Amino acid sequence: MNDITEAPRSFAPNRLAERRPGLLARGLFLTMDAVYGRAPSIEKFAALELVARVPYQAWESVAYVALTHVHGRVAFTRRIFEFVVEARHAQDNEQWHLVILEELLARSGARRSWLTARAIPQLLAVFYYHVSWLLYVIAPSLSYGLNADFEDHAERSYLAYVSAHPELEDAPWETAIAAEYGAPRTLAALLRRIAADEREHRDHSLARLTEPRFADEHGLAA
């Protein structure tokens, strides 16, 4: 999301908060490992990015429901709509990640099964959407925490993959979507850039853990 072409080459030492992933997050990670293997891979990242969009879609859905109840309070409506724009920006960023990874897989000529490339990621996304939506309705901190765990795992996975594949430092990256996402020069720089996006998403979710779902200028929540 930041306008950068390089991201840190190692794990960020100063995290906003050290967290142990919750039960739901660990279940999701174990499922991904069972299907795609424990080691990070581009195919696994593509599945991860398809799932990564859905918390933001769920939050946007809740926000639109809230808008129907407070439309007479203009200032409050504007605050909720700002949240909608923010969620949409994050899910669009995750969508670009997915487009990039699908492009890399297509260029590699990798053979992928319909089950692992489409069916399982879609099923995981549907499950994750409804869990994120329900947690957000019950207690936003639960949904933000789950997303922070997911994004933290994604950041670590991308950086681990780059570390395990030093040849990516010399592999050029060219794409037709450079104007939309940016143009890191190498595949290593590209994946570090994506990792930096995931870190930004994580930190933003962590920062919202103690905030109400929505709040007006008087601190009243919806």
pTM of the model: 0.85
Give, in order, the Cα–Cα distances in Å from 31 to each of 5, 28, 203. 32, 5, 24
In a domain, 140, yes or no: yes
Mean pLDDT on 151-176? 96
In a domain, 177, yes or no: yes
Domain containing residue 78: CATH number: 1.20.1260.140
Backbone phi and psi for residue 172, each to the nearest 5 degrees, phi listed first: -70, 150
In a domain, 143, yes or no: yes
The parent domain of residue 43 ranges over: 23-207
- Helix count (H) and strand count (E) of the chain? 9, 0
Q: What is the pLDDT of residue 32?
A: 96
* pLDDT confidence band for 203 (50 / 70 / 90): very high
For residue 221, what are the β-bridge partners? 215
In a domain, 108, yes or no: yes
The domain total for the chain is 1
Q: What is the pLDDT of residue 67?
A: 72
In a domain, 14, yes or no: no
In a domain, 45, yes or no: yes
Q: What is the pLDDT of residue 173?
A: 93
Lowest mean pLDDT among 16-25, 115-124, 138-147: 16-25
In a domain, 100, yes or no: yes
**Would you state the structure tokens that stand for residue 115, as one six-digit string?**
């089950």
Q: What percent of the chain has pLDDT over 70?
A: 85
Rounded to the nearest integer, the mean pLDDT of the chain is 86
What pLDDT digit, counting tens, does each position of 122-152 carry?
999 999 999 999 999 899 899 999 999 999 9
What pLDDT digit, counting tens, does each position of 33-89 carry?
999 999 999 999 999 999 999 999 999 888 887 777 666 677 777 777 788 888 899
In a domain, 121, yes or no: yes
